[in-house]
Amino acid sequence: MTQHRRAHASERPRSSAIRRILATAGVFGVAIATALSATGATYALWSDNASVNAPTLTAGSTGLTINGMTDATIPMTAAHLYPGGSVVSAAPLTVHNTGTVPLSVTAAAPVFSSTDAVLAPHLTVALRPSDACAPGAVGTPPTALPASMGSPLLLPPGADVRLCLEVYLSADAPSTVQGAAAAFAVELDGAQVPRS
């Protein structure tokens, strides 16, 4: 009998442990069931949505023309060009902002063709804002490009600026340049003015 009691005594703690495990599992089961029922309850709430329809956007544009063209040839005669003298365009060049954004306009230094090696080093090309074109004082060279335009010109959309083109032959030009010809190009650059 003694052995039987000992065996019975050892089964009691085992059954207590099983009851505790079952009780804990029951508590977790109730907690999980409660959580699931709460989650399911949110589906009973009403919901709705709305869309924001953005307008069609169009990007701005930049554009410059000179006398109505993007690549203009300016007629000039050098028949009266002599050392220390200048020739100017017959009329001011009209530079127009054809874009939709304000532009900061600058001019690059002139680029002479490769066949102008004799005359080109003795020429100064200037481009300056003016409504009337007249050569500078004899013997006084104009400020060369790109500095002759001064600071960049601000050109709002649709606006114009008038510029005079002047070509000066240096006073110390040698006699070997007599009758020589030169062709050059000046590029105007219009950069968008950033918003402040």
DSSP class per residue in 143-196: PPTTGGG-SPEEE-TT-EEEEEEEEEE-TT--GGGTT----EE--EEEEEPPP-
Report the alpha-carbon distance of residue 187 to residue 108 in Å, rounded.
Answer: 6
Q: Residue type for 180, please?
A: A
Q: How do residues 50-81 score in pLDDT, each as one tens digit?
A: 888 888 887 888 899 999 999 888 888 777 78
Q: Which fold has domain 64-192?
A: Immunoglobulin-like (2.60.40)
User: What is the number of helices (H) and of strands (E) in the chain?
Assistant: 1, 10
Q: How do residues 107-122 score in pLDDT, each as one tens digit?
A: 999 999 877 788 899 9
Identify which of 95, 118, 103, 114 has the alpha carbon closest to the alpha carbon of residue 185: 114
Take residue 154 and report the two structure tokens written for it: 């601000």
Between 187 and 196, residue with greater pLDDT: 187
Identify which of 128, 132, 170, 172 has the alpha carbon closest to the alpha carbon of residue 151: 128
Q: How do residues 132-181 score in pLDDT, each as one tens digit?
A: 888 877 778 888 888 877 788 899 999 999 999 999 999 999 999 888 88
Take residue 1 and report the two structure tokens written for it: 């009998």
Give the pLDDT of residue 84.
92
Give the pLDDT of residue 115.
73
25 confidence band (pLDDT: 50, 70, 90): low
Residue 2 has pLDDT above 80, yes or no: no
The residues, any chain, with a CB within 8 Å of residue 170's CB and separated by 6 or more, are 83, 84, 122, 123, 124, 141
Domain edges within the chain: 2-44, 64-192
Q: Is the pTM of this model over 0.75?
A: no
Mean model confidence pLDDT for the chain: 81
The residues, any chain, with a CB within 8 Å of residue 118's CB and separated by 6 or more, are 176, 177, 180
Give the pLDDT of residue 11.
53
Give the pLDDT of residue 43.
56
Take residue 180 and report the two structure tokens written for it: 């020589």
Between 31 and 90, residue with greater pLDDT: 90
